[in-house]
Structure 1
Amino acid sequence: MSSLSGTSLAGTPLAGRRVLLGISAGIAAYKSAHLARLLKKAGAEVRVVMTEGAQAFITPLTLQALTGEPVRTSLLDPEAEAGMGHIELAKWAELILIAPATADLMARLAQGMADDLLTTLCLASAADLVMAPAMNQAMWRHPATQRNAQRLQADGWRLLGPDAGDQACGDVGPGRMLEPEEIIADLEAAERHPAAGRHVVITAGPTREPLDPVRYLSNHSSGKMGYALAEAAAALGARVTLISGPVTLATPAGVERLDVESAAEMHYAAQRLAGECDLFIGCAAVADYRAEQVAEHKIKKTDDDDGLTLRLVKNPDIIAAVATRADRPYVVGFAAETRDVERYARDKLTRKKLDMVVANDVSRAGLGFGADDNAALLLWRQGNREARRELPPQSKRDLARAILETALEAQAAPQNAPR
């Protein structure tokens, strides 16, 4: 049957990619037809596998017309399995994209089950693995689904979404499948850049250093820059772990988040992950000092007090500790300064043995802590010389993308081959 998908765009990042589109049993399956058409238009080779339940929402004939390929629906198809068809299909795929991915399918994949054709293919394939979750908002928020999402990400799956908004059941909240155009844009971004298959660890937000059970030392960091970096890294195809201090921000889609409070807790998490990641970005505003002793009970003020004296001790230097490891990743640090920005940034780059430093002038109005916009000066080692790039004021989301692209390009340069 001929394809109705229109003219392909041979120059797009997806051109020639062998994409296996998996469709599971959710109402969002109606979007999968448009997604298949866009994949074909982008120049990808597309084959579709549907679960039994998915066929209640959209017919295999529709997908066959759009892709020009037979649609597979059964693991025990005598005609296809005469030549071990499911294994051949698993080997054929370069990218497995499941959209929509229901809570049930996510649970089965998280447990390593292979009880239908789609789950069997996922276990038998070495392809890149991407899914777009879609379900009721309560199902997405359920602790079991969140555990499954984290397990899948640890197993190499990249999650796109879900989005939030009105749902077919009448609820409002997170659980909507991303629109096909958004999925295509994300896939193309991952194809354009070298982050696919990489593990990026990012620290973000402030730390809190307790003085007593109710008081602590902290700073004005909102975590917005670190969270924007995590979102951008996930969009570029990386597996992302975000070590977050206490903030009020939602976890970016497809990002694994570890919550910490103190610098010591962040240091422990960073050391645990540093040896298994490819790129480490220290964006958190870590407290330099903590109280030598934390009061067991609330420190009380009395009428004859003239003041309060606190003895502080240094916290561990998280970014320097990562940079001096024998199995160090590529290390990017941040320098939030109020004066002599470039001088202090260059000193930090050298003194802490970083590969790159991102310097911010946080004294500029409307930029830095708490703001939605930021600007940066990037300094990095390029062999025996130092390179620099100035990024003008822009949204933190756009700035994060530019920082990551620069870091990935610098890391990939021959002079910066893995140590």
Structure 2
Amino acid sequence: MSTTAVDTATAPGSGSDAVPRTKSWRATIGLGIVAALSLLVFGLGTPAGVQTTFTVSSSTDFITLPSITVPAKAAAVTLSIIALLLVGWVAYRANQYRKVGIWLPIVFGMVVMGALLTWAGADRSGTTIQLTGLLTSALFLAVPLVFGALAGTLCERSGIINIAIEGQLLAGAFLAALVASAVGNAYVGLIAAPIAGGIVGWLLAVFSTKYWVNQIVVGVVLNLLVLGLTSFFFSTVMSDNPELNQPLNMPDLAIPLLSGIPVIGPVLFDQNLLVYIMYAAVIVIQIMLFRSRWGLRVRAVGEHPKAADTVGIKVNRTRVRNTVLGGAVAGLGGAFFTVASGLAFGKEMTAGKGYIALAAMILGRWSPKGALAAALLFGFADALRVQLGIIGSDIPSQFLAMTPYLATIFAVAGLVGHSRPPAAEGIPYKK
């Protein structure tokens, strides 16, 4: 739903040019429906006179904070009203033809999730909401989404649509498990994972830049190819040689002092090596893309390849390199499913996480820090499903499992704001 206004700008020596601006109400309507349901179901649907308890500390913290007990109905109603106020801000910005920041859908999601947790934990004697455990799980489950979204950002900023993130994650998970089992060291598997993702990225780059094949079609085909190959080798090589598919694990590396900080310490600073690599990857890619000469060239290729070629930038070579790099980053994220989680490889174990990573990239507006925030939101939705199952929520587990995918639909549909992709995305460059 949108309305259109016309602005008139007068340039020296020319007539008046009418520039239409579209006023979109999609975000207001979509988020408004969610906020209204939150108020009706979680707020007004919570019994009066009951309480919800949140545990915010663990025994290893320097300072042990007491549990927080809140009146369930009042808290759920308050959080739902905050969500409605955020919807009002979205409407106000839309009426001024202005965008909302990436912070708003993240805060909105957290507020609604808070109302849901308050409602789910109400009147459950002996059961508390483990807030620190929930946040730790959310961060850990967001790891493959962050790496996948970073891979998509690297590729699409140079003009290549990377639908093959799912295949790159799966290939990375497979090779990490295979190499780690063969060598007997999980860290060696972590090194091998980017190689598998890089190979898939190279195939995508070759078909997209040299043969000008439709990039979306190539991405889907590569996903199916990797799925078929990994399933075949799992059923033959790994099944016949169980020693090549062992559940090896990377231990958590607690950072002294920092890991003892209440709440955020266990969440941020008591993780395994892959999580720390994720922190570094987001920072480095953010700086390189938007604060370096290399990043300026990459973005120029994605926005206006002809102009980039005119000043001497090798367009297709830049795209190939970025796509291979993006594939390697996604392959590294694939190690999450095996060596980082202590699991053996299984068929289709990525379970569509590559497509959710694409949604995180879109929601994050093709920026590493935005992709991180969006991936954390999706990871929180996934962790919430686990937490509600632990406390025995009345919500059927099938509906809880749909939560990350519903968030994905909202992101792709543009209900959290308009996102503009790179102008030359998906368009082959032909000299």
TM over 0.5: no
Q: TM-score, normalised by structure 1?
A: 0.26
| Higher share of residues assigned helix | 2
Q: TM-score, normalised by structure 2?
A: 0.25
| Higher share of residues assigned strand | 1
- Return the structure number with greater relative CO, CA threshold 8 A, min gap 6: 2
